[in-house]
Amino acid sequence: MSERRRGERYALDQPGMGTVRVIQDVEIAHFDASESVVIAARTIPLGERLLLEIPDERGGPSNTRLARAVNSRVILRGGGLRREVRLLITTRPGEADDAAERFAKLEIRRKPLGGAVIRRVPVRIVQVSSSGCLWESPSALDEGTVGFVDVRTSGQRHTEAVRILRTLHAPGPVWPYRMAVEFLTLGPTSPDSLRGVAALVAVGVPPPTIASPKTL
């Protein structure tokens, strides 16, 4: 992968397993109790499970439902290309019938109605530097996507705001996408952050789960 690096990158002895959370604004073109159609600027992979969040018209808490992307097509919208995605709504186990009924009766009174989809994508971090990292994932994330990554190492949780700089599709049965990622967090580096782990590696004092620095 060709990229411009701002820091020396090091390989991890054991890949760091984590999850990146991405909140994506969408336009809700259709909604009922069983399915929804949304217009998105970025890719929503088919088969992926996500949360669909619809604002309450009366200013109350947003309505949130588990959904799965089952169909997608490219359309022309507002002078640009967008993705029209059909989502099947999933009823959570033990969910109250009255809550499902209220959600089913939600009326879209204005067009367009803005909403959001929340994706949680598993990642495997294989390289890290003081300015970013390289990870692999079973799902694609578009270049320019912003989100939060959570990684657990040695019983600790490390969180960082990130942006996808490059995405490459590489052969692989489980982790076919490789992405160069930039850290976005401002302010002093915290030892609990992913940047803090990267800083320890950069000065040659790696935590237990990271091997001695090996420049790639």
Given this model, what pLDDT does residue 119 score? 95
Given this model, what pLDDT does residue 86 score? 96
More confident residue, 143 or 78: 143
Average pLDDT value for residue range 106-132? 81
- Are the C-beta atoms of 184 and 146 separated by less than 8 Å? yes
Average pLDDT value for residue range 94-105? 53
Boundary (domain end) residue, out of 116, 142, 175 = 116
Of 168, 163, 139, 138, the closest CA to residue 149 belongs to: 163
* Widest CA span in the chain: 59
Q: Give the 3-state secondary structure of residue 89.
A: strand
More confident residue, 62 or 213: 62
Task: Indicate if 84 and 138 belong to the same structural domain.
Answer: no
How does strand 63-77 pair with strand 132-137?
Answer: unpaired
| The overall pTM is greater than 0.85 | no
What are the start-end ranges of the H helices in 84-188? Answer: 97-104
Task: Indicate if 146 and 156 belong to the same structural domain.
Answer: yes
Task: Indicate if 90 and 134 belong to the same structural domain.
Answer: no
Find how far residue 94's CA is from the centre of its chain: 27
What is the band of 204 on the pLDDT scale with cuts at 50, 70, 90? Answer: low
- Could you tell me if residue 61 is inside a domain? yes
Q: What single-letter amino acid sits at 60?
A: G
- Could you tell me if residue 48 is inside a domain? yes
Range of the domain at 127: 10-21+120-202
Average pLDDT value for residue range 39-52? 92
Task: Indicate if 83 and 99 belong to the same structural domain.
Answer: yes
Given this model, what pLDDT does residue 214 score? 36
Average pLDDT value for residue range 182-203? 71
Total of domains in the chain: 2
64 beta partners = 53
More confident residue, 63 or 125: 125
The neighbour count for residue 183, using CB atoms within 10 Å, is: 23
Q: What single-letter amino acid sits at 130?
A: S
- Residue 197, pLDDT > 80, answer no
Task: Indicate if 142 and 181 belong to the same structural domain.
Answer: yes
- Are the C-beta atoms of 133 and 170 separated by less than 8 Å? no
